[in-house]
A and B are shown apart, each in its own frame.
Chain A
Amino acid sequence: MSDKVIYVMYDDDEALKDSAKKLVSKGVKISEVFSPFPIHGIDPIIGIKNTRLGIMAFLYGLTGLTVATLGMRFFMVTDWPMNIGGKPNFSYLDNMLAFVPISFEFTVLCAAHGMAITYLLRNKTLPGMPAQNPDPRTTDDKFVMEIRLNENHGISEAELDEMLKETGFFELDKKEIN
């Protein structure tokens, strides 16, 4: 199904945010925003939910802690109860304090790397991926809003053009996609 995409470019982050607010209040659906840096406060306006990566980091950390605990219990208590100065490790708890540093380090290791890998996968940013920003200037000083006609059935293209004109954009670009 063919669709028309409108790229509206602004030269200021506040300008984009203000116009996004106006457009959304008139019922326009903004499908994407490209910017060189995070625009604070844009997410609720264009309806982006907060990321759940934090929960993932917690789960990865928990996994790390579990693996470290079970691992050290196996190595030091079950498989080869190490006897240091006549003080063998009879149980994990007896020797828990000595295991704190590595438990901590391994928790951090798993949480940080797990989250970072998930982040890259979810963003689809991996080595060799092509750039997807519509204009190279969006990584410099321009801010682009993407509006798809298919997502705005109630509004005609002419109406949309009129609304956009009022927002004082910097440049406007339209593209047919199939």
Chain B
Amino acid sequence: MQKEAAIREPLILGHKTYHDITEDVCRPIEDKAPKMWYTLFGIALIIGLYGVGSILYLLGTGIGVWGLNKTIGWAWDITNFVWWVGIGHAGTLISAVLLLFRQKWRMAINRSAEAMTIFAVFMAGLFPLIHMGRLWVGYWVLPLPNQFGSLWVNFNSPLLWDVFAISTYLSVSLVFWYIGLIPDFATIRDRAKKPLSKKMYSILAFGWSGRAKNWNRFELVSLVLAGLATPLVFSVHSIVSFDFATSVIPGWHTTIFPPYFVAGAVFSGFAMVQTLLLVMRKAMGLEAYIHTKHVEYMNIVIMVTGSIVGTAYITELFISWYSGVEYESYAFINRATGPYWWAYWSMMTCNVISPQLMWIPKLRRSLLFTFFISIVVNIGMWFERYVIIVTSIHRDYIPAAWSMHFPSHIDIGVYVGTIGLFFVFFLLFARFFPVLALNEVKTILKGSGQSYKESPDYHKHH
């Protein structure tokens, strides 16, 4: 058993036993769903279906139904793509990077954060696919032998790098998540009383039995997957930023993009984790496992990454002037004072000022304030991508080609629809899957549980 300093706050509050942990996590799955769940699920489903309808209309008609024009060929679609991918960065960061750093507080949140990651990447992947217009030829992005002669995809293109990065990220995250889920499904299987749920969880648990050798392999696989997923997390958003950084558009052609995008992704991802977990812990009665200290840790991550993002904004602004490149300076002056000034200043307020408030301990330990800021950050990060994408291209080199982007109702429908679908998936997850890595949490009970830490035996040497 690993011991930790007495002044460190316990990670599991109250007097819990191993069995209590099982009970607390499994009860919401075994009990009937509360009315609130049906209400939320209904709302999310309606919004999601509206999104599906918008996508079907778009596929049937063509991407002309978006508010794009000859100058602005990318707008909400790619903004939403980058926004969702960014949100999808927290889960694997929490489970992989924090595992390598042996941060035990990750155990209470990694499962739901990873689920969020996977659903967010689903939503992200949707946008490049529907942007193809002809979804059914989507497989053309893969280097497959074909009837067109020696026709291969372009391996020099960041857009193809993205195909590989996103699909690797999605599938590896999914595997990482599922490998952790198997022992917990086994717990639910062994408790299940109804034949149908016993059958379902038996299939999901893959016959897991918890042998010592299996656990030995489990720990190594988790560690190696974490080691593989850590550079993967950083590479994915770096590659997303290459989509812009390797172009010649002023405002995009920036070497600072990869680290700046990665920090932004972690920033927005943690904000989304906060939004979801603050509601989930309350609704599912998990306050003993996900408490103020966890929220505070996440707020510190938000503060640090938010500061990196803020520094990047200001560096970018400074360099655009310092470079002496007229086009580059114009791109930035236009962002701040041009027709999209409101988007730029919303971004600055939401992303630069709000995380700085987390320096105040009282605020970063306040759940209500955290919830508010997490929403603000999510809005700010959407604006960041919108500002980068739309303001950089809406002023073309020839003034005759200058243009504005106005979203059509399909733009809005698809975007809002993905939020609905995301919540449909997340609510289903919260209803049927163990939302806490319950068996992993048991390993920290004796080291970080409140009742154990407060017992007089804790600091004795054995």
In the complex formed, the residue of A with least CB distance to B23 is A140
Nearest 9 pairs of A and B residues by beta carbon: A129-B207, A141-B18, A136-B190, A38-B215, A125-B206, A132-B209, A33-B212, A75-B152, A133-B209
Q: Which residues of A contact B (CB under 8 A)?
A: 14, 32-40, 42-43, 46, 48, 50-51, 53-54, 57, 61, 71-72, 75-76, 79-80, 82, 84, 95, 98-99, 101-102, 104-106, 108-109, 111-113, 115-116, 119-120, 122-133, 136-141
B217 at the interface (CB under 8 A from A): yes
Q: How many Å lie between the Cα of A44 and that of B442 in the bound state?
A: 22
What total count of A-B pairs have CB within 8 Å? 196
Contact residues in A for B1 (Cβ distance below 8 Å): 14, 40
Q: How many Å lie between the Cα of A109 and that of B232 in the bound state?
A: 10
Residues 5-39 of B at the A interface (beta carbon under 8 Å)? 17-19, 22
B304 at the interface (CB under 8 A from A): no
Main secondary structure of the interface of A (DSSP, over half): helix
In the complex formed, the residue of B with least CB distance to A144 is B210
Contact residues in B for A51 (Cβ distance below 8 Å): 213, 216-217, 220
Contact residues in B for A116 (Cβ distance below 8 Å): 175, 179, 221, 225
Is A75 touching B143 in the complex (CB atoms < 8 A)? Answer: yes
Spot the interface stretch: B165-173, B280-288, B352-360, B388-396: B165-173
Is A109 touching B171 in the complex (CB atoms < 8 A)? Answer: yes
Main secondary structure of the interface of B (DSSP, over half): helix
Contact residues in A for B217 (Cβ distance below 8 Å): 51, 53, 119, 122-123
Is A79 touching B19 in the complex (CB atoms < 8 A)? Answer: no
Sampled A-B contacts (23; CB under 8 Å):
A35-B212, A38-B219, A38-B443, A51-B216, A51-B220, A53-B217, A53-B224, A57-B228, A71-B143, A76-B156, A101-B164, A105-B168, A108-B231, A109-B167, A112-B175, A113-B172, A124-B207, A130-B202, A133-B190, A138-B190, A138-B210, A140-B18, A141-B442
Q: Quick one: CB contact mask for B153-183 with A, threshold 8 Å, 1 for yes?
A: 1111010110011011001100110010011
Is A131 touching B161 in the complex (CB atoms < 8 A)? Answer: no
Q: How far is the CB of B189 from chain A (nearest CB, A)?
A: 6
Q: Which residues of B contact A (CB under 8 A)?
A: 1, 17-19, 22, 143, 150-156, 158, 160-161, 164-165, 167-168, 171-172, 175-176, 179, 182-183, 186-187, 189-191, 202-203, 205-221, 224-225, 228-229, 231-232, 235, 239, 242, 439-440, 442-443, 446
Is B152 touching A126 in the complex (CB atoms < 8 A)? Answer: no
Is A76 touching B155 in the complex (CB atoms < 8 A)? Answer: yes
Q: How far is the CB of A108 from chain B (nearest CB, A)?
A: 5
Q: How far is the CB of A105 from chain B (nearest CB, A)?
A: 4
Q: How many Å lie between the Cα of A38 and that of B172 in the bound state?
A: 23
Q: How many Å lie between the Cα of A130 and that of B156 in the bound state?
A: 48
Q: How far is the CB of A131 from chain B (nearest CB, A)?
A: 6
Contact residues in B for A119 (Cβ distance below 8 Å): 179, 217-218, 221
Contact residues in A for B164 (Cβ distance below 8 Å): 101-102, 105-106, 109
Is B150 touching A131 in the complex (CB atoms < 8 A)? Answer: no
* A-B contact sample (18 more), CB < 8 A, given A131-B207, A139-B439: A14-B446, A32-B212, A34-B209, A34-B212, A38-B216, A50-B220, A102-B155, A108-B172, A109-B164, A109-B167, A111-B228, A116-B221, A123-B217, A125-B207, A126-B207, A136-B191, A140-B22, A141-B442
Known: A37-B439, A104-B235, A131-B209. A95 touches B172 (CB 8 A): no
Q: How far is the CB of B9 from chain A (nearest CB, A)?
A: 22
Is B210 touching A130 in the complex (CB atoms < 8 A)? Answer: no
Is A112 touching B210 in the complex (CB atoms < 8 A)? Answer: no
In the complex formed, the residue of A with least CB distance to B149 is A80
Is B213 touching A48 in the complex (CB atoms < 8 A)? Answer: yes
Q: How many Å lie between the Cα of A108 and that of B96 in the bound state?
A: 14
Contact residues in A for B156 (Cβ distance below 8 Å): 76, 82, 84, 95, 98
Q: How many Å lie between the Cα of A39 and that of B211 in the bound state?
A: 10
Q: How far is the CB of A39 from chain B (nearest CB, A)?
A: 7
Q: How far is the CB of A77 from chain B (nearest CB, A)?
A: 10
Contact residues in A for B152 (Cβ distance below 8 Å): 75-76, 79-80
In the complex formed, the residue of A with least CB distance to B215 is A38
In the complex formed, the residue of B with least CB distance to A30 is B212
Is A57 touching B143 in the complex (CB atoms < 8 A)? Answer: no
Contact residues in B for A40 (Cβ distance below 8 Å): 1, 443
Q: How far is the CB of A47 from chain B (nearest CB, A)?
A: 10
